[in-house]
Chains A and B, each alone.
Chain A
Amino acid sequence: GAVVSQHPSRVICKSGTSVKIECRSLDFQATTMFWYRQFPKKSLMLMATSNEGSKATYEQGVEKDKFLINHASLTLSTLTVTSAHPEDSSFYICSASLAEPYEQYFGPGTRLTVT
Protein backbone atom coordinates (compact mmCIF):
# COMPACT_ATOMS: atom_id res chain seq x y z
CA GLY A 1 0.00 0.00 0.00
CA ALA A 2 0.82 3.72 -0.01
CA VAL A 3 2.19 3.90 -3.53
CA VAL A 4 2.99 7.21 -5.17
CA SER A 5 3.67 7.53 -8.87
CA GLN A 6 5.22 10.30 -10.92
CA HIS A 7 4.97 10.98 -14.59
CA PRO A 8 7.07 11.36 -16.61
CA SER A 9 10.15 9.71 -15.13
CA ARG A 10 12.39 11.64 -17.50
CA VAL A 11 11.79 14.69 -19.63
CA ILE A 12 13.98 16.78 -21.88
CA CYS A 13 12.71 20.15 -22.98
CA LYS A 14 14.01 23.23 -24.71
CA SER A 15 14.75 26.42 -22.89
CA GLY A 16 11.70 28.67 -22.69
CA THR A 17 9.10 25.91 -22.78
CA SER A 18 6.95 24.66 -19.90
CA VAL A 19 6.92 21.19 -18.45
CA LYS A 20 4.26 19.54 -16.30
CA ILE A 21 5.03 16.76 -13.83
CA GLU A 22 2.25 14.70 -12.30
CA CYS A 23 2.23 13.11 -8.87
CA ARG A 24 -0.43 10.58 -7.96
CA SER A 25 -1.21 8.64 -4.81
CA LEU A 26 -2.44 5.36 -6.23
CA ASP A 27 -4.05 3.58 -3.32
CA PHE A 28 -4.80 6.24 -0.75
CA GLN A 29 -6.11 9.76 -0.44
CA ALA A 30 -3.36 12.11 0.60
CA THR A 31 -4.08 14.97 2.94
CA THR A 32 -0.98 16.79 1.81
CA MET A 33 1.44 16.55 -1.06
CA PHE A 34 4.98 17.86 -1.18
CA TRP A 35 7.38 18.77 -3.95
CA TYR A 36 11.12 18.48 -3.54
CA ARG A 37 14.09 19.28 -5.67
CA GLN A 38 17.30 17.36 -5.43
CA PHE A 39 20.62 18.45 -6.87
CA PRO A 40 23.31 15.88 -7.69
CA LYS A 41 24.72 14.27 -4.56
CA LYS A 42 22.67 16.57 -2.38
CA SER A 43 19.78 16.20 -0.01
CA LEU A 44 16.16 16.96 -0.80
CA MET A 45 15.11 20.58 -0.76
CA LEU A 46 11.45 21.20 -0.01
CA MET A 47 9.93 23.47 -2.62
CA ALA A 48 6.30 23.61 -1.61
CA THR A 49 3.51 21.96 0.30
CA SER A 50 0.01 21.65 -1.07
CA ASN A 51 -3.36 20.60 0.23
CA GLU A 52 -6.23 19.65 -2.01
CA GLY A 53 -8.29 22.62 -3.08
CA SER A 54 -6.06 25.28 -1.60
CA LYS A 55 -3.05 27.27 -2.72
CA ALA A 56 0.35 25.76 -2.25
CA THR A 57 2.69 27.06 0.42
CA TYR A 58 6.09 27.77 -1.05
CA GLU A 59 9.39 27.68 0.78
CA GLN A 60 11.41 30.84 0.95
CA GLY A 61 13.36 31.43 -2.23
CA VAL A 62 11.13 29.30 -4.45
CA GLU A 63 9.46 31.30 -7.21
CA LYS A 64 5.77 30.49 -7.14
CA ASP A 65 5.20 32.00 -10.58
CA LYS A 66 7.85 29.75 -12.05
CA PHE A 67 6.94 26.55 -10.24
CA LEU A 68 3.17 26.31 -10.49
CA ILE A 69 1.55 23.73 -8.27
CA ASN A 70 -2.00 22.53 -8.68
CA HIS A 71 -3.59 20.10 -6.26
CA ALA A 72 -6.85 19.29 -7.95
CA SER A 73 -7.82 16.21 -5.96
CA LEU A 74 -6.79 14.11 -3.00
CA THR A 75 -4.83 11.85 -5.33
CA LEU A 76 -3.26 14.24 -7.84
CA SER A 77 -0.86 17.13 -7.67
CA THR A 78 0.98 18.69 -10.59
CA LEU A 79 4.12 20.78 -10.79
CA THR A 80 4.56 22.95 -13.86
CA VAL A 81 7.95 24.45 -14.53
CA THR A 82 7.22 27.51 -16.62
CA SER A 83 9.67 29.06 -19.06
CA ALA A 84 12.24 26.48 -18.14
CA HIS A 85 15.94 27.31 -18.21
CA PRO A 86 18.99 25.06 -18.02
CA GLU A 87 19.42 25.91 -14.32
CA ASP A 88 16.02 24.31 -13.69
CA SER A 89 17.49 20.96 -14.68
CA SER A 90 17.23 18.74 -11.64
CA PHE A 91 15.62 15.71 -10.07
CA TYR A 92 12.13 16.53 -8.83
CA ILE A 93 10.50 14.27 -6.26
CA CYS A 94 6.99 14.41 -4.91
CA SER A 95 5.57 12.83 -1.81
CA ALA A 96 2.17 12.37 -0.25
CA SER A 97 1.24 12.06 3.37
CA LEU A 98 -1.60 10.83 5.46
CA ALA A 99 -2.51 12.20 8.84
CA GLU A 100 -0.35 11.70 11.91
CA PRO A 101 2.40 10.67 12.13
CA TYR A 102 2.67 12.57 8.87
CA GLU A 103 4.80 9.94 7.27
CA GLN A 104 5.52 10.78 3.66
CA TYR A 105 5.42 8.33 0.80
CA PHE A 106 7.70 9.26 -2.05
CA GLY A 107 7.33 9.02 -5.78
CA PRO A 108 10.16 7.67 -7.94
CA GLY A 109 11.21 11.12 -9.09
CA THR A 110 11.35 12.95 -12.42
CA ARG A 111 14.62 13.85 -14.10
CA LEU A 112 14.21 17.17 -15.90
CA THR A 113 16.82 18.28 -18.40
CA VAL A 114 16.48 21.68 -20.03
CA THR A 115 18.59 22.20 -23.14
Chain B
Amino acid sequence: AQSVTQLGSHVSVSEGALVLLRCNYSSSVPPYLFWYVQYPNQGLQLLLKYTSAATLVKGINGFEAEFKKSETSFHLTKPSAHMSDAAEYFCAVIDYNNNDMRFGAGTRLTVKP
Protein backbone atom coordinates (compact mmCIF):
# COMPACT_ATOMS: atom_id res chain seq x y z
CA ALA B 1 0.00 0.00 0.00
CA GLN B 2 1.14 3.53 -0.68
CA SER B 3 2.37 5.58 2.25
CA VAL B 4 4.14 8.84 3.01
CA THR B 5 6.79 9.66 5.56
CA GLN B 6 7.27 13.14 6.93
CA LEU B 7 10.74 13.78 8.24
CA GLY B 8 10.73 16.01 11.28
CA SER B 9 7.74 16.21 13.56
CA HIS B 10 8.59 19.79 14.43
CA VAL B 11 10.22 22.49 12.33
CA SER B 12 11.01 25.95 13.65
CA VAL B 13 11.97 28.89 11.45
CA SER B 14 12.31 32.61 11.88
CA GLU B 15 9.86 34.95 10.23
CA GLY B 16 11.07 35.68 6.70
CA ALA B 17 13.17 32.52 6.50
CA LEU B 18 12.75 29.64 4.06
CA VAL B 19 10.26 26.97 5.01
CA LEU B 20 11.09 23.39 4.01
CA LEU B 21 8.85 20.53 5.10
CA ARG B 22 9.89 17.09 3.93
CA CYS B 23 7.72 14.31 2.58
CA ASN B 24 8.78 11.06 0.94
CA TYR B 25 6.38 8.59 -0.61
CA SER B 26 6.54 4.88 -1.21
CA SER B 27 5.05 3.90 -4.50
CA SER B 28 6.16 2.06 -7.58
CA VAL B 29 3.97 4.22 -9.79
CA PRO B 30 3.53 7.99 -9.77
CA PRO B 31 1.01 8.64 -7.03
CA TYR B 32 -1.39 11.45 -6.34
CA LEU B 33 0.14 13.55 -3.57
CA PHE B 34 -1.27 16.29 -1.41
CA TRP B 35 -0.23 18.78 1.22
CA TYR B 36 -2.77 19.93 3.77
CA VAL B 37 -2.54 22.51 6.56
CA GLN B 38 -4.42 22.28 9.84
CA TYR B 39 -4.87 25.12 12.29
CA PRO B 40 -5.81 24.32 15.91
CA ASN B 41 -9.25 22.79 16.32
CA GLN B 42 -9.99 23.04 12.63
CA GLY B 43 -10.26 20.67 9.72
CA LEU B 44 -7.73 20.29 6.94
CA GLN B 45 -7.25 22.83 4.17
CA LEU B 46 -5.70 21.79 0.88
CA LEU B 47 -2.50 23.67 0.09
CA LEU B 48 -1.65 21.96 -3.17
CA LYS B 49 -1.78 18.66 -5.02
CA TYR B 50 0.22 16.69 -7.55
CA THR B 51 -1.76 14.64 -10.05
CA SER B 52 0.80 13.63 -12.67
CA ALA B 53 0.89 16.97 -14.44
CA ALA B 54 3.60 19.57 -13.82
CA THR B 55 6.23 18.43 -11.33
CA LEU B 56 6.43 21.86 -9.71
CA VAL B 57 3.12 22.57 -8.09
CA LYS B 58 2.14 25.97 -6.80
CA GLY B 59 -0.41 26.24 -4.05
CA ILE B 60 -2.10 28.77 -1.87
CA ASN B 61 -0.43 31.16 0.57
CA GLY B 62 2.84 31.16 -1.38
CA PHE B 63 3.58 27.46 -0.88
CA GLU B 64 4.88 25.17 -3.58
CA ALA B 65 6.10 21.60 -3.82
CA GLU B 66 8.20 19.72 -6.32
CA PHE B 67 7.58 16.11 -7.26
CA LYS B 68 10.91 14.32 -7.66
CA LYS B 69 10.51 10.78 -8.84
CA SER B 70 14.22 9.99 -8.52
CA GLU B 71 14.09 10.90 -4.84
CA THR B 72 10.50 9.76 -4.23
CA SER B 73 9.96 13.12 -2.58
CA PHE B 74 7.36 15.84 -2.52
CA HIS B 75 8.80 18.47 -0.21
CA LEU B 76 6.83 21.61 0.61
CA THR B 77 8.55 24.98 0.49
CA LYS B 78 7.84 28.65 0.97
CA PRO B 79 10.50 31.31 0.36
CA SER B 80 9.58 33.54 3.29
CA ALA B 81 7.76 32.37 6.40
CA HIS B 82 5.01 34.43 7.93
CA MET B 83 3.71 34.22 11.47
CA SER B 84 0.37 33.05 10.13
CA ASP B 85 2.04 29.96 8.64
CA ALA B 86 2.41 28.43 12.09
CA ALA B 87 0.27 25.28 11.94
CA GLU B 88 0.35 21.52 11.46
CA TYR B 89 1.15 20.30 7.96
CA PHE B 90 0.22 16.90 6.57
CA CYS B 91 1.47 15.18 3.47
CA ALA B 92 -0.93 12.62 2.00
CA VAL B 93 -1.06 10.06 -0.78
CA ILE B 94 -3.91 8.28 -2.49
CA ASP B 95 -3.72 4.53 -2.09
CA TYR B 96 -4.49 3.12 -5.53
CA ASN B 97 -5.74 -0.14 -4.08
CA ASN B 98 -8.80 1.39 -2.46
CA ASN B 99 -8.62 5.12 -3.23
CA ASP B 100 -8.18 5.87 0.47
CA MET B 101 -6.02 8.78 1.50
CA ARG B 102 -3.05 7.96 3.71
CA PHE B 103 -1.53 10.70 5.82
CA GLY B 104 1.93 11.29 7.12
CA ALA B 105 2.45 11.83 10.82
CA GLY B 106 2.42 15.58 10.38
CA THR B 107 4.95 18.35 10.91
CA ARG B 108 4.31 21.20 13.29
CA LEU B 109 5.70 24.45 11.94
CA THR B 110 6.62 27.16 14.42
CA VAL B 111 7.50 30.64 13.20
CA LYS B 112 9.58 32.80 15.49
CA PRO B 113 9.39 36.60 15.33
Contacts and interface: CB of A to CB of B under 8 A. Distances in A.
A104 B101 contact: yes
Contact of B106 (A42, A46, A91, A103): A42
A67 B44 CA distance: 22
What's the dominant secondary structure at chain B's contact region?
A: strand
A61 interface: no
A44 to B, nearest CB: 5
B103 A108 contact: no
Q: Which range contains the number of A residues in contact with the other chain? A: 20 to 34
A113 to B, nearest CB: 12
Interface residues of B, number: 23
Interface of B: 32, 34, 36, 41-46, 49, 51, 90, 94, 98-106, 108
B42 A101 contact: no
A95 B99 CA distance: 13
A102 B99 contact: yes
Contact of B49 (A4, A43, A101, A106): A101
